[in-house]
Amino acid sequence: MSDSDITMIGIMGRWQGGAGDRLKEAALSLFRTQGYDGTTVAEIAAAAGVTERTFFRHYADKREVLFVDQGEFERAFLTGLPETGADPMRLIAAVLDSAATLFPEQRRTWSRARQTVITTTVALQERELLKMSALAAALTRALTARGIDPTSAALAAESGVTVFRTAFTVWVDPAEDRTFPVIQQTVLARLHALIGQ
Amino acid sequence: MSDSDITMIGIMGRWQGGAGDRLKEAALSLFRTQGYDGTTVAEIAAAAGVTERTFFRHYADKREVLFVDQGEFERAFLTGLPETGADPMRLIAAVLDSAATLFPEQRRTWSRARQTVITTTVALQERELLKMSALAAALTRALTARGIDPTSAALAAESGVTVFRTAFTVWVDPAEDRTFPVIQQTVLARLHALIGQ
């Protein structure tokens, strides 16, 4: 077992080691050491101790392996949508509080490692942007279903995604030690201060 | 000359018909009739009356042909950045006014046709998202260069891009007839009303 393997087991420690998680772990380790383009699905599967067939049962292709299921991701936000209320930014604030549970402290080392790979790989940046775009569309639909007009719904949803992404960027900064919920609330307050002038 | 060709010449009427513009025209026409995936660079070049070599002098690949040069796109925003001033959202408002010149009324028919292709083609949606992400990064850099802190700069820049994209979506709606500058100012005012609460 190499030092790099030991580091990755440390990073992934909180996960129980199902095949899907082992594949994520193996993929991140390989992407970091030999680059995204230089890594094949066969190598990821071999490093995780599974067959390629198992890889493709979990992920559609190499680009998907570092991403959680989009439906699961969106549900982490939408479960926080209050049953009542019509002020778009209050609804968004509740949704963001709910999404903060996606990033407990024990996930931070993994998220930092993942982020270094994503920011240096155009294909993964595109995938990340699509994920955020689909999230904004889902939040827009949820707000319009509440009777909020489409333009206000889109602006509130996009603003929520902006706050979430900005908070995430701060959270994975190696020099930052505040928790995700604290950072996100600070960023949301900053947005209100900036735009409320 | 088919009816479809005549329609496209009408759509592109304002352009003078340099090879780059003829390639855009041919690409949009082919993407609409036979789909993005079903269209090759060779077909686009042939329809524009140029060689493939000429295509690749203008565009890196098929995905690029419906997009303007990123530097040119960003300059349309950044030329509007006032020489002085430190309030991030005032700077962004000026930048958005400047960018509105990208969309005169004579471009509207073309923009509507282009949008129908982009919204139905994942590869082009990804390209569009990358373009907007790079724009937000450029605006963030311009604001931080003014001494604005990175988080405020990112939030203001992302909010500006949100207003721009939302205004564009409204502008290309077939049922909408207000001009781009009017729509964009309305959307910006809506954002202030929403978030300033």
Which tokens is B85 given? 């001033």
Q: Give percent of chain B above pLDDT 70.
A: 91
**Per-residue pLDDT at B90 exceeds 60:** yes
Work out the burial of residue A60: count CB atoms within 10 Å of its CB; fewer than 13 is exposed, 13-18 middle, 19 or more buried: exposed
Whether residue A119 lies within 8 A of chain B, CB to CB, comes out as: no
- List the single residue in B with minimal CA-CA distance to A148: B194
**Per-residue pLDDT at B29 exceeds 80:** yes
pLDDT at A14 (0 to 100): 43
Q: Which domain holds residue A181?
A: 70-195
A88: helix, strand or coil: helix
Count of domains in chain A? Answer: 2
Co-location of B60 and B74 in the same domain: no
Which tokens is A105 given? 């402290």
Co-location of B36 and B57 in the same domain: yes
d(CA B169, nearest CA chain A) in Å: 10
Please report residues of A whose CB lies closer than 8 A to that of B163. 155
pLDDT at B196 (0 to 100): 81
The ipTM value here is: 0.85
* pLDDT < 50 stretches in chain A: 1-7, 9-10, 13-15
Q: Virtual CA dihedral for A9, A116, A51, A74, nearest 10 degrees?
A: 100
Co-location of A82 and A168 in the same domain: yes
Whether residue A187 lies within 8 A of chain B, CB to CB, comes out as: yes
Co-location of A125 and A174 in the same domain: yes
**Per-residue pLDDT at B2 exceeds 70:** no
> B45-62: per-residue pLDDT in tens?
999 999 999 999 999 999
Co-location of B10 and B95 in the same domain: no
Co-location of A135 and A162 in the same domain: yes
Q: Check B190 against A151: CB less than 8 A apart.
A: yes
- CATH assignment of the domain containing B136: 1.10.357.10
Mean pLDDT, rounded, for B185-196: 94
Of A84-88, B78-82, B116-120, B170-174, the range with the lowest mean pLDDT is A84-88
Whether residue B156 lies within 8 A of chain A, CB to CB, comes out as: yes
**Per-residue pLDDT at B7 exceeds 90:** no
Co-location of B37 and B87 in the same domain: no
- List the single residue in B with minimal CA-CA distance to A136: B162
Q: Check A88 against B190: CB less than 8 A apart.
A: no
Q: Check B163 against A155: CB less than 8 A apart.
A: yes
Mean pLDDT, rounded, for B71-91: 93
